[in-house]
Amino acid sequence: MLPNKSIKRTSIPKELQNTSRTVLGEKFAELHRQLQETDKSMLVIIDGWESSGKGFLLKDLTRELDPKHYEVAVFNETVLQDEKRPYLYRFFMRSPKRGQIVFFDRSFYYELFHNLDIKEKRLDHLLHDISFVEKALHDDDTLVLKFFIHQTKDEMADRIKDLSDKPDYDALATKDDQHQLENYKAYRKHFSNILEKTNSEDIPWHILYVDGQKDQSREALKISIDKLEQWLAADLTRPAQKDFLSGLETSVAPLSQINHSVTLSETDYELEKEDLQQQAADLLYKAYKMNKGVIVAYEGSDAAGKGGNYQRLTRLMDPRGYDVSTVSAPNAEETSHHYLWRFYRDFPSLGRMTIFDRTWYGRVLVERIENFTPTYRWQEAYDEINQMEHNLTEQNYLLLKYLIVIDKDTQYDRFMGREKDPDKQYKITEEDWRNRDKFDEYVQAMNDMVLKTSTPEAPWKLISGVDKRHARIAVLKDFIQRMEAFLDKK
């Protein structure tokens, strides 16, 4: 991937050499203003050898831009807070909003580039995670541009020597610079391996390897201008995938297998409940002590009893150890980001639990049925969700997904009961009645969701909510069983 060590730096075309960096910067700024009027965005990743001029390049790329509409995120080390979050959390949270450019100084790749001792299996796993984020942003209309600044060993040595003469040398050149220089051959091989594995047709690496930092900036600005011009002009809509659900129609519909006749007497419920709740509380405390995270996701029919269910689950838990995230229609800030952004924001740190009352599956349920999202985007969401959940379960998180379902008659009775009870009228809205008209469509969408996203590492647990006592005990028992297996796993 990197130029052969025998190849020397090249010069950029004469025409570009004679072009002012200010003129290029102003052209980039003009395109930036056009970007602000669209639903598209841009992420620029700047990485490379230490002492190679990343800071110089970053200044030239940004100096003509309006600071209100771009951000620079620096990823030169993992802080303690980030270490307790999902690996992709800090990258997703700093991803660009629509109309915005974000520059990653160093980026996802920084710690991987600097870790010569990382095992190949671990490296491949993290690179797979990174590629997932890049593709998810790209598919959500974000131009992802990646620059890697290359230099020879002699050039690096000269650069470090020049920096050593400056009064703020300690800030400009660190032990990482010297370590790379002393182990140049090993780092070069390591960098090439990472660059090759994360180079794709849609999101390629642009290797900057030209004479002089000013020409390096000119080349990067020209690439940025050309790519952004193309991105702004492109129609990024994609056709819906034909026969996307082919084969699912002939599969056994998961919801049709739910037994709605199961019941639990109040006596048996009271006999079991408190002991199970105490076991659940003890297991959550154990997860805290072991620094493991828990995510509980609830989906299902309206009025199926999801809220009452997780209230019984958490009844004896220490409230300092968990949060409940109630998902409603996204606000303006949330819709300006990738749809997974607001869920990454609310995922728990290790040692804690978050319960989601409604989830990221809204993408393939309400957004699909109400046509809030283009068909091609909710079709792509299944794979994005599976990959996100895989990332979480690989990082000391247990993901529990409960689908609580009731039949149409039960839902009608509960809606009517809410309307007649003054203490429950806040639970029923016109939207609930409108959604009821699409009951069968939601059943089909939930069937498709289960068939496409119930994986060995994050399976769906389907439960009848017709008898609320049965549903509450079923979740408590499953929570305990899965938590015990999770906490015992080495």
Per DSSP, the residues of 125-154 read: HHHHHHHHHHHHHHHTTEEEEEEEE---HH
* Tens digit of each residue's pLDDT (9 = 90 or more) over 201-227: 999 999 999 988 999 999 999 999 999
Both tokens of residue 22?
């200010």
Using an 8 Å Cβ cutoff, are 176 and 49 in contact? no
Cα 76 from Cα 46, distance rounded (Å): 12
> How many angstroms from the chain centroid is the CA of residue 323?
20
Q: Does the 254-488 domain belong in CATH 3.40.50.300?
A: yes
Residue 264 vs residues 313, 466, 476: alpha-carbon distances, Å? 17, 11, 14
At 416, the pLDDT band (50, 70, 90 cuts) reads confident
Q: What's the Rg (C-alpha) of the chain?
A: 26
Cα 301 from Cα 109, distance rounded (Å): 42
Average confidence score pLDDT of the chain: 91
* Tens digit of each residue's pLDDT (9 = 90 or more) over 132-178: 999 999 999 999 999 999 999 999 998 888 877 776 655 556 788 89
Query: What pLDDT, on a 0 to 100 scale, did the predictor assign at position 175?
Result: 81
Cα 440 from Cα 113, distance rounded (Å): 51
Q: Single out the residue of 37, 11, 50, 415 nearest to residue 214, CA to CA.
A: 11
Cα 324 from Cα 307, distance rounded (Å): 10
At 425, the pLDDT band (50, 70, 90 cuts) reads confident
Q: What is the pTM of this model?
A: 0.91
Average pLDDT on 300-324 reads 96
Higher pLDDT, 3 or 124: 124
Average pLDDT on 383-412 reads 95
Tokens 């969701």 belong to 449
Cα 64 from Cα 82, distance rounded (Å): 32
Q: Where are the beta strands (DSSP E) in 167-303?
A: 205-208, 293-300
Q: Which residues of the chain does CATH 3.40.50.300 include?
A: 14-233, 254-488
Q: Are strands 70-74 and 101-105 parallel, antiparallel or unpaired?
A: parallel
At 328, the pLDDT band (50, 70, 90 cuts) reads confident
Query: What pLDDT, on a 0 to 100 scale, did the predictor assign at position 216?
Result: 95
* Tens digit of each residue's pLDDT (9 = 90 or more) over 1-57: 788 777 777 889 999 999 999 999 999 999 999 999 999 999 999 999 998 999 999
pLDDT at 478 over 90: yes
Lowest mean pLDDT, pick from 124-138, 241-255, 285-299: 241-255
Q: What are phi and psi of 178, to 5 degrees?
A: -65, -40
pLDDT at 439 over 70: yes
At 251, the pLDDT band (50, 70, 90 cuts) reads confident
Q: Which residues contact 98 (CB under 8 A, 6 or more apart)?
A: 38, 39, 40, 41, 141, 336, 337
Cα 25 from Cα 27, distance rounded (Å): 5
Using an 8 Å Cβ cutoff, are 424 and 418 in contact? yes
3-class state of residue 51 by DSSP: coil
Cα 36 from Cα 55, distance rounded (Å): 25
Using an 8 Å Cβ cutoff, are 273 and 312 in contact? yes
Using an 8 Å Cβ cutoff, are 391 and 129 in contact? yes
Query: What pLDDT, on a 0 to 100 scale, did the predictor assign at position 81?
Result: 59
Using an 8 Å Cβ cutoff, are 463 and 402 in contact? yes
> How many angstroms from the chain centroid is the CA of residue 460?
20
User: Exposed/middle/buried for 419, CB within 10 Å: 0-12, 13-18, 19+?
Assistant: middle
For residue 299, the tally of other CB atoms under 10 A from its CB is 23
CATH of 14-233, one of 3.40.50.150, 3.30.1490.190, 3.30.420.40, 3.40.50.300: 3.40.50.300
Higher pLDDT, 411 or 299: 299
* 10 DSSP β-pair partners: 210
Q: Single out the residue of 61, 23, 56 nearest to residue 44, CA to CA.
A: 61
pLDDT at 78 over 80: no
